[in-house]
Every structure is written in C-alpha cells, then in structure tokens.
Structure 1
Amino acid sequence: MSGTQRLTRLTGTHAGPLHPIGRSHGWTLNRAELADGRSVFVKALLEPRTPAPGIFPAEAAGLRWLGEAVPTLVPEVLAVDDTMLVLPWLSPETATPAAARRFGRDLATLHAAAPTAYGAPWPGFIATLPLDNSPTAGEWGPWYAAHRLAPYLPAAATHLGHTGTRLIEEVIARIGDLAGPSEPPSRIHGDLWSGNILWTADRAVLIDPAAHGGHRETDLAMLALFGAPHLDAILSSYQEHTSLSPGWRRRIPLHQLHPLLVHVVLFGDSYRAMTLEAARAALAA
C-alpha cells in the first residue's frame, strides 16, 4: 500500500501524494494535501526498517495529554496508527520575543497541571528508544535514577568507558543529595530541545514529545541544552507566573544527563564529552 493510500485510509479523506521534506530516525517527514483542502504534516515509517510498534501512538497520546492542559501549545492529532501520524501543517516562522514570553507563560501553565505520579499511562519512547513510563509515586530523584538514567547506561557504557560509566553510577548513587527540594510531578514535554519547538507568527507549538509526569526543571534544562531562541525571555516569563525552587540553575546538568545519555546510545562517541561534563557538574553542584 502506497503512502497516499495509507493516508487516505487513515484520515477517511482522499489524499494527494506525500511530498518528502526530510527524514528522522526510522521515518520520513512529509507534507500532503487532503481533498477537503487541508494541508497536513505526515510522519510515516520508512520501509523496510520498522522501529518498535507503538511509537506514533505514544507520540499522539503525549500530544493529546499536553493539550488537555494548554490546547494551543500542541497541534491537534488528526489521525494515527502504528505506521503513520498526521498533524495539521503549520508554517514555521522566526521566533520573536513576544512569542517567547507567551511560551514561558504557557509552559508554566502546562507544568501546573500536575499528574498524580511520575510516568504516564502509556508506554513511552524517546526517538526510537523505549522510555519507561510506569506510573510511580514517591520522590523524583530515585524515580529519575531508576527510570531515566540506569536503563540507558548499559548501552552507553561502551562509548563512555570505565571512568565515564563510574561517573554516571556515582550520580545515581548520590541522587538523593543531588535532586533538590521535593516537588510534586509536573506535566512535562520530556524532550524539549529547540528542534521540538515550532514557532508560528505569535506562539510556540510543541512537537515530538516524550511526555510524562516528571520534574518541571527537566523541560527548562532541555531548553538550555542546545540553545532555544530568546531563552532569557522564556525563563523570565515563566518565573513571572510561577516560582522555581532555590538552586534550580545548579541542577540543570543533572536534568540534562538523561537526554545526553540517549544521544550517546543513538549517536555514539560524539556526545561522550558533553555527557561526562554534565555528570561532573551535577556532582559538583
């Protein structure tokens, strides 16, 4: 079945051809036109390479869950199955300070919509890697160590070497001292690097979530990891609408350790230095 046929079947509307605009991991990124006049963004699995089933449904579940808190912050999920995800087409614009300030406010509102536990009621993924979303009560630190650091360490160890692996193990062992003041779970995007923010004329729209109940500082640390535009405006607006726990800036490297470990697993030695630098900074803080 062609991509056009799959899109037609999934949306229930006759679709034109898929126009590739790129690829990422195990899927292609496409634009298509539907017979009712809508332009759509289509993420479709590459053939014959097929990542684990459930990746697109997990992404759709995360978008819908985030949208329950702030509907304008995420695109509507138009259709989804294990082979395809369909969203409205949004034309990207250059980020502005005004849009960044609105995003800071929206992000504070999202984080205030607190779930009852860490994790989420669906199996998670980050890129093509499984993400353990088993709902868990208790403190964030032990949950983060057990569900976000330890699962990726065996695959990363080959690239980190003995010394690097021991550094991460030390972070895990000392997590109770490093995690900061106790906080309830927040509804977070979970993979909020700058490439997962689509800027429109007046606002930010979040895509590609690894959404779950987590620590709100994780989203803020991800914004800083690869440099979100107008980050100072985002953070300033965020803190106008909610306060952050003392020492949150010192904990940024701790929260960056999970995505950096994921990058080591996916991309290898090129992220080793950044990961070890974050581990040392987390321990020093």
Structure 2
Amino acid sequence: MAGDLREAVLDDGRVVVVKRGHGPGAIAAEAAGLRWLASAKAVPVPSVAGHDENLLVVERVTAGRSSAPAAERLGRGLARLHAAGAPAFGAAPPGGPADAWIGRAPMANVPGEDWASWYAAHRVLPYVRRAFDAGTFDTDDVTLFERACERIPASAEPPARLHGDLWTGNVLWDGREAWLIDPAAHGGHRETDLAMLHLFGCPHLGSVLGAYEEVTPLAEGWAGRIGLHQLFPLLVHTVLFGRSYAGQAVAAARTF
C-alpha cells in the first residue's frame, strides 16, 4: 500500500492496518474500490473495517510465499472479477469519487462508451500533458503520443471491473492465496490489468495467465497489445518519478 501505514489492534482483537490518505478523495476512492472488488466474490481482498476522510482501516494480510497453485487461483479469480463488469469505461466504483487516484497521481473516472477514445482521452493524454508541463516530455514527444492515440484499435470488449493498479507490489501472497490490495478500481479493458502484471513482473505469471484463459480466453492478438495497455502505467510513473520512466513510455508509444 502507498501512504503512511501502521498496524493497530481493535477492541475485538482483530489486527488491522491503518492507512493515512495522501490527497482529497483518496481514502474514499480506495475504500469504494476495495468494496467493489470484494462484491464480485472473485479474488481475496482485505475487508474495510472503517474509514473517514483521512484514514482507512482494513484487514491485515500476513505476507508469505507465492506458489503456482495460488497463482492459478489468482488467474481464475481475475477472470471472474473482470467478467463482473462495470457500467461503462471509466465508471467509478459505487460510492467512489470521480476525482480518484492511482498511487499518488490523480486519475479521473469519466464514463465513456467507446474504449479507444476513452483510453486516449482519460488514461493517456492527461498524463502526457502533465509530463510536458513538468519538462519531462518535449513537443516531439507530445506529437508522438497524439499520433499513437489516433491509432488505438477499436475494441469489442465490454467494460471490465478492473483493479486498475495491478503491479506486482499490489499482489500480496500470504502462503496460501494471492490478495489484491491498494486498487485504483474503475471500469476499463481487462487487458490493462494483465499488461500491468507483465510490466513489473509477477511471480508465476505463466500460471496466472494460463488459468485466466481457462475461464475466459483472451481476444486474438492480445499479446501484441500489451505495450498499448502499458502506456497508462508507464505515463503515470513518468508523472510521478520523471525521466527514469519517460524512455519506456516513448518506446511503447512508438510501437503504434
């Protein structure tokens, strides 16, 4: 989890994690996201014990070892989670704010019906503009991303219920299962979650993907679109951490 964390013991003896928010609406967005993911009954997610504007209290998950069987269960669970769906691309979790966050970067949950145009408008270009304003990208870089957005292929996939920030650090293994923590949940394309797992690595990733496809096969050519879906997290990291990720983002855009 990002943010300031500490453990606490409730009066009933439960050990919980208390997380302090880092911006307006961050706690509300995360609490709503955790509950939305949990309501699909597909993947283990820490339960929300309570929250206010500044603090989130969630079930503590004890860290353990990863395993191939747990990875297979994660893959099947992700397929069911995505299939639980969302009202629209960009839809916020019920009760969650439209002005949300991915890590410490703002993320706007603006609903759209067409994935390609929505992805360009709300998951690519806003972060390109932020990076340009910070001096990380130049005008040639901006032009490259704009041209890449014009070539985003149409998709017939329905809106999926995404974790939204599914890098390996947000998959917590307890020795038996894989839990999903710290979501930036929203309605999106299911390949985006899987592309994030590829980008930063995930233990037993082959087992995750194989089990996923047993439940819901991926669309033809999905591996060739991994770079497209990685534009979102790469640009977020460029905004947060600067030039160390800018080259990867530009290289991904050049594939289009």
Under a length normalisation based on structure 2, what TM-score does the superposition of the two structures give? Answer: 0.93
Superposed CA deviations along residues 170-196 of structure 1, whole A, max 9, x for unmatched, are 111222xx34x4111011101100000
Aligned counterparts, 1:93-172, within 5 A:
93-121=64-92, 122-123=97-98, 124-137=100-113, 139-157=114-132, 158-172=135-149
What is the CA–CA distance in structure 1 between the aligned matches of 2:126 and 2:247, rounded to whole Å?
Answer: 20
Superposed CA deviations along residues 75-113 of structure 1, whole A, max 9, x for unmatched, are 111111121111111101111000000000000000111
SS at match of 2:203: coil
* Native 8 Å contact 2:26 2:101 kept in 1: yes
Superposed CA deviations along residues 190-242 of structure 1, whole A, max 9, x for unmatched, are 11000001111221111111101100000000000110110000000000111
What is the CA–CA distance in structure 1 between the aligned matches of 2:199 and 2:102, rounded to whole Å?
Answer: 16
Superposed CA deviations along residues 45-83 of structure 1, whole A, max 9, x for unmatched, are 4xxxxx431101100101101111126521111111121
Structure 2, unaligned runs of 5 or more: none
Using the aligned pairs only, state the percent identity.
50
Offset at 1:128?
A: 2.4
* Aligned: 1:199 with 2:176: no
Out of 240, 244, 257, the position equivalent to 2:218 is 244
Under a length normalisation based on structure 1, what TM-score does the superposition of the two structures give? Answer: 0.84
In the alignment of these two chains, the number of paired residues is: 249
What is the CA–CA distance in structure 1 between the aligned matches of 2:43 and 2:8, rounded to whole Å?
Answer: 23
Regions of 4+ moved over 4 Å: none
What is the CA–CA distance in structure 2 between the aligned matches of 1:151 and 1:117, rounded to whole Å?
Answer: 19
Give RMSD over aligned pairs.
1.5
* Aligned: 1:41 with 2:17: yes
Offset at 1:277?
A: 1.5
- State the match for 1:271 in structure 2: 245
What is the CA–CA distance in structure 1 between the aligned matches of 2:52 and 2:252, rounded to whole Å?
Answer: 37
- State the match for 1:213 in structure 2: 187
For the pair shown, which has the larger CA radius of gyration, 1 or 2? 1
Offset at 1:248?
A: 0.3
Identify which of structures 1 and 2 has the higher relative contact order when contacts are C-alpha pairs closer than 8 Å and 6+ apart: 2
